[in-house]
Structure 1
Amino acid sequence: MALTNKQRAGWCAIAVTLVGGFEGLRLAAYADPVGIPTICFGETKGVHLGQRATLDQCKAMLAASLQLANHAVDDCIRAPLPDYRRAALVSFAYNVGQANLCGSTLARKMNAGDVEGGCDEMLRWKYARGIYLPGLVTRRQAERNLCLVGAE
């Protein structure tokens, strides 16, 4: 589904705030809680420890990655998505990846019209590489709450 610039601006502004708030900004690469080299706003692809980035580079990476996450949402979710729900799903896809989103019970429930059940599925994603992360619990609760805005 093609989005207008106005529609894109709505979900994107929300997603930037959500992702940026939970990922934080680090201009020097670091090992995340499960040991994955990470930089900027949670970028991991091609990152190596010792790498540095500028704020402008980090903003560009975030914008590109959010667009990829939005494409993942478009590829996996066929249900109508108001801005808040799309932003929540984009944040989720940014964090877990397209394959995990597409193969999830969350996607199946959303596509079956079970918005509440789909949003609730986000709460199950609180582990990374089998390690329980309290930060993911907080993030998933925020994503779920945003996902449910306007749900009947």
Structure 2
Amino acid sequence: MSRLKKAGAVTAAGALAVAFVGAWEGMRTTAYRDVVGIPTVCFGETRGVKMGDRYTADQCREMLGDGLAEFEAGIRKCLVAPDKIPDKPYVAFLSLSYNIGQKAFCGSTVARRANAGDLRGACEAIVVWNKAGGRVVAGLVNRRAAERAMCLEGLK
């Protein structure tokens, strides 16, 4: 079950996820190497990307939607009560997972705390994920701060 779409229509959580993740990832229609050298395209897509790949803006938006749906399915497998998590923390967790990968998210303190019912602690643990290639990256520090802020805002 998806919280991003219901009966084929995009939900409020889905619109928030696309806008939030899309803004942080940025769109580049030609493949480039990310900060650690991984071929990346569109809105941060790395799976199967080769240097020289090109996509249209519409293809990139479709890829983002498909990717978010796939990552949502992944986080739902490791969160014990995903539908009890308010939309903003849910989207913050999805954004984190989209950026660090499902396996890393599911093994994280964020997921463990969420599963223990400590959503505030889960939100606070997001900021730990600020490194790429073993070094702190300013863009990740900023993204994690925004994810944390949105997460905490959703608890009020």
- TM value normalised by structure 2: 0.91
* Aligned position for 1:117: 121
**SS of residue in 1 equivalent to 2:126:** helix
Contact 1:29/1:51 (<8 A) preserved: yes
Identity of aligned residues (%): 45
- TM value normalised by structure 1: 0.93
Separation of aligned partners in 2, 1:126 and 1:97: 14
Separation of aligned partners in 1, 2:32 and 2:70: 23
Alpha-carbon spacing, 1:2–1:31, altered in 2? closer, same or farther (3 Å): closer
Contact 1:25/1:40 (<8 A) preserved: yes
Separation of aligned partners in 1, 2:150 and 2:133: 25
Choose the corresponding residue for 1:142, options 142, 146, 154: 146
CA RMSD of aligned residues (A): 1.7
Which consecutive aligned stretches of 4+ in structure 1 deviate over 6 angstroms post-superposition?
A: none
Q: What are the ranges of 5 or more consecutive residues in structure 2 without an aligned counterpart?
A: none
Deviation at 1:149, TM superposition (A): 2.1
**SS of residue in 1 equivalent to 2:40:** strand
1:35 maps to 2:37: yes
* Aligned position for 1:5: 6
Separation of aligned partners in 1, 2:27 and 2:153: 27
Deviation at 1:9, TM superposition (A): 1.0
**Which AA in structure 2 matches 1:93?**
S
**Which AA in structure 2 matches 1:138?**
N
* Aligned position for 1:89: 93
Q: What are the ranges of 5 or more consecutive residues in structure 1 without an aligned counterpart?
A: none
Choose the corresponding residue for 2:135, options 131, 135, 138: 131
Choose the corresponding residue for 1:25, options 1, 24, 27: 27
Separation of aligned partners in 2, 1:150 and 1:83: 7
Deviation at 1:131, TM superposition (A): 2.3
Aligned residues, how many?
152
Contact 2:86/2:155 (<8 A) preserved: no
Choose the corresponding residue for 2:46, options 44, 47, 56: 44
* Aligned position for 1:106: 110
**SS of residue in 1 equivalent to 2:153:** coil
* Aligned position for 1:75: 77
